């Protein structure tokens, strides 16, 4: 009797194990193509689009770029570095989409800020782009606990108001589709604000883009204090829906234009989230900041950047012999990942450190994630976030003004992947 039970158990185990191994083989074949006499070659064209997974909890790609099979002109590579040319306002929960970048506020369920790069070409009318095909939907790269949902807005009396305007992203249907993620929405008063004054401001920004070389737009919510009867100031705001989505008291929009003669022009607006009379001109909401307008009398000069070097990687007890991959904004991910995988597979190296800064941070994370996903061996990981100094020189355009040197701290990420076990006492160790 016992022999029969054991035989049946072994038979069932063999069938289950065989099915599992067959499934693994089939899935691997989906992402490969055969060339050169039957050798298996990795093919990025067969890569299934999935939400990006952050290596650490603050920076990730929300969704990988998906190219339309009928139009292969879309290229996400390097776009983040173009959009964020002048640096990140902050690094809290960065999400990079195909044509804009945002920082998500998990507490309030709206963005801290969105950043866009507009050109005359990007705001041109495009009859291939149809806004009616777009759907409001949550960004699944955000943990469900911190998401806002369409149900939060339903019956609230507020519009799902765009921060990065849909009309700013007309060069491809994918671009406009991604402006409808709820991470890009905030509760806005509808009639008199979102559909009127705020819409006029968005149209005005596009008008600036049509006559400028480049326009950079930073948009976000504000929660401003109000003085009450007791003489004290309080920050109070409404929340809506089951997820307590915050209703901002105001919104800001900062617009930096690079003119055709390479000058910088800046305008900043602060608008209350309330019904505004159509007769009130946009200039009534201009935020006249003396420091900002003074900068119009300066022209951007040279940059002196602290070099990112192999010797300065801030990971303790690094292996003596490792491959260092310095990823930049213009780096082609598939090429560098291929090179690193071959170096590891050939046993020339047993560990690799991926490093990147500024616009290269997102690509650095992507390289490490792809390598982890494709590796058949177990990889041990340590991640470090740090900063490097950049000095920007601004040259005066008027007599009597002095040269300005602005120091910025640019975010850097270093990710160690090792085939060998690492010291368990090192902070940030992942397996």
Q: Of 7 and 79, which is predicted with more confidence?
A: 79
143: tokens are 């943990």
Confidence of residue 63 (pLDDT cuts 50, 70, 90): very low
CATH superfamily of 305-430: Alba-like domain (3.30.110.20)
111 pLDDT higher than 50: yes
**Among candidate residues 417, 211, 181, 392, the one with its CA nearest the CA of residue 306:** 392
Average pLDDT, the chain: 82
Model pLDDT for residues 315-362, shown as the tens digit of each residue = 888 888 999 999 988 889 999 999 999 999 888 999 999 999 887 898
Model pLDDT for residues 18-37, shown as the tens digit of each residue = 555 555 455 555 545 444 44
**Among candidate residues 175, 35, 56, 180, the one with its CA nearest the CA of residue 119:** 175
Across 374-395, average pLDDT: 88
**Among candidate residues 414, 413, 409, 415, the one with its CA nearest the CA of residue 88:** 409
Contact yes or no for 109/247 (Cβ under 8 A): no
What are the percentages of helix, strand and coil residues in the chain, rounded to 5?
30, 30, 40
Task: Let me know if 349 is exposed, middle or buried by CB neighbors in 10 A (0-12, 13-18, 19+).
Answer: middle
Residue 126 counted as an annotated binding residue:
no
Model pLDDT for residues 290-299, shown as the tens digit of each residue = 555 555 567 7
Model pLDDT for residues 269-286, shown as the tens digit of each residue = 999 999 998 888 898 888
Task: Give 62-288's CATH code, choosing from 3.60.21.10, 3.40.50.280, 3.40.570.10, 3.40.50.10140.
Answer: 3.40.570.10
From the candidates 162, 172, 175, 380, give the one annotated as an active-site residue.
162
Across 409-423, average pLDDT: 89
CB-CB neighbours of 138 under 10 Å:
15
Distance of alpha carbon 81 from alpha carbon 330, whole angstroms: 8
Model pLDDT for residues 176-235, shown as the tens digit of each residue = 999 999 999 999 999 999 999 999 999 999 999 999 999 999 999 999 998 888 989 999
Q: Is 162 a catalytic residue?
A: yes
Contact yes or no for 310/324 (Cβ under 8 A): yes
Q: In 128-267, where does DSSP find H-type helix?
A: 150-153, 173-178, 197-210
Report phi then psi at 186, rounded to 5. -145, 145
Contact yes or no for 24/13 (Cβ under 8 A): no
Model pLDDT for residues 28-61, shown as the tens digit of each residue = 555 454 444 444 443 444 444 334 333 333 444 4
């Amino acid at each position: 009797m016992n022999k029969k039970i054991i035989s049946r158990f072994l038979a069932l185990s063999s069938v289950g194990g065989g099915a599992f191994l067959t499934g693994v083989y089939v899935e691997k074949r989906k992402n490969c193509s055969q060339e050169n006499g039957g050798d298996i070659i990795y093919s990025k064209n067969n890569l299934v689009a999935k939400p990006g997974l952050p290596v650490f909890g603050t920076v990730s790609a929300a969704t990988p770029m998906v190219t339309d099979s009928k139009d292969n002109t879309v290229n996400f590579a390097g776009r983040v570095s173009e959009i964020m040319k002048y640096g990140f306002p902050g690094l809290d929960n960065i999400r990079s989409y195909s044509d804009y970048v945002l920082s998500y506020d998990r507490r309030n369920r709206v963005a801290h800020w969105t950043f866009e790069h507009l050109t005359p070409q990007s705001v041109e009318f495009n009859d291939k782009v149809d806004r009616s095909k777009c759907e409001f939907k949550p960004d699944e790269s955000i943990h469900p606990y911190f998401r806002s949902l369409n149900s939060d807005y339903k019956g609230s009396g507020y519009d799902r108001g765009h921060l990065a305007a849909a009309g700013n992203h007309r060069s491809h249907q994918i671009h406009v589709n991604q402006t409808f993620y709820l991470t890009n929405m905030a509760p806005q008063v509808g009639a008199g604000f979102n559909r009127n004054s705020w819409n006029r401001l968005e149209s005005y920004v596009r008008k600036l883009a049509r006559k400028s070389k480049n326009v950079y737009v930073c948009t976000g919510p504000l929660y401003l204090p109000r003085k009450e009867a007791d003489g004290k100031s309080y920050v109070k705001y409404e929340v809506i829906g089951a997820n307590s989505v915050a209703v901002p008291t105001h919104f800001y929009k900062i617009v930096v234009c690079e003119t055709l003669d390479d000058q910088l022009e800046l305008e900043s607006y602060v608008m209350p989230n309330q019904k505004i009379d159509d007769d009130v001109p946009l200039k009534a909401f201009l935020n006249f900041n003396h420091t900002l307008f003074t900068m119009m009398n300066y022209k951007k000069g040279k940059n002196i950047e602290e070099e990112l070097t192999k010797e300065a990687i801030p990971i303790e007890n690094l292996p003596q012999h490792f491959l260092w991959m310095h990823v930049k904004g213009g780096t082609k991910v598939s090429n560098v990942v291929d090179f690193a995988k071959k170096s590891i597979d050939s046993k020339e190296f047993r560990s690799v450190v991926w490093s990147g800064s500024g616009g290269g941070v997102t690509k650095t994370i992507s390289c490490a994630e792809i390598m982890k996903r494709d590796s058949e061996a177990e990889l041990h990981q340590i991640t470090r976030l740090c900063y490097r100094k950049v000095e920007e020189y601004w040259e005066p355009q008027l007599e009597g003004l002095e040269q300005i040197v602005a120091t910025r701290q640019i975010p850097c990420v270093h990710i160690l992947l090792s085939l060998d076990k690492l010291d368990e006492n090192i902070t940030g160790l992942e397996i």
